[in-house]
């Protein structure tokens, strides 16, 4: 698999159905996964939202604040 590999649509559909079924069968599992991710923003989401679009909101973005603070102290 290279960096440009994409999962075929049929396979993605199977995976999605499997995840939905697992979450429906065990709502506590879904809640636990959600709790684990809470408070952990995605660096990839930051790159897409800010860097590629040229938008920067350091006062509201965890990653922008981290970069700003490390730049001031380093």
Query: What confidence tens digit (pLDDT) does each residue in 29-43 have?
Result: 888 888 887 777 666
State how far the Cα of 7 lies from the Cα of 9, in Å rounded to an integer.
6
Query: pLDDT (tens digit, 9 = 90+) per residue, 1-23?
Result: 567 788 899 999 999 999 899 88
pTM reported for the whole predicted model = 0.40
For residue 67, the tally of other CB atoms under 10 A from its CB is 15
What is the reported pLDDT for 16?
Answer: 92
**pLDDT confidence of residue 12:** 93
What stretch of H or E contains 8?
Answer: none
């Amino acid at each position: 698999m290279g960096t440009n590999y994409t999962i075929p649509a049929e396979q993605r559909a199977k995976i999605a159905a499997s995840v939905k079924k697992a979450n429906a069968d065990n709502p506590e599992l879904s809640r636990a996964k959600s709790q684990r991710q809470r408070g952990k923003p995605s660096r990839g989401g930051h790159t897409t939202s800010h860097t590629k679009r040229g938008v920067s909101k350091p006062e509201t973005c965890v990653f922008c604040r981290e970069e700003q603070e490390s730049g001031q102290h380093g």
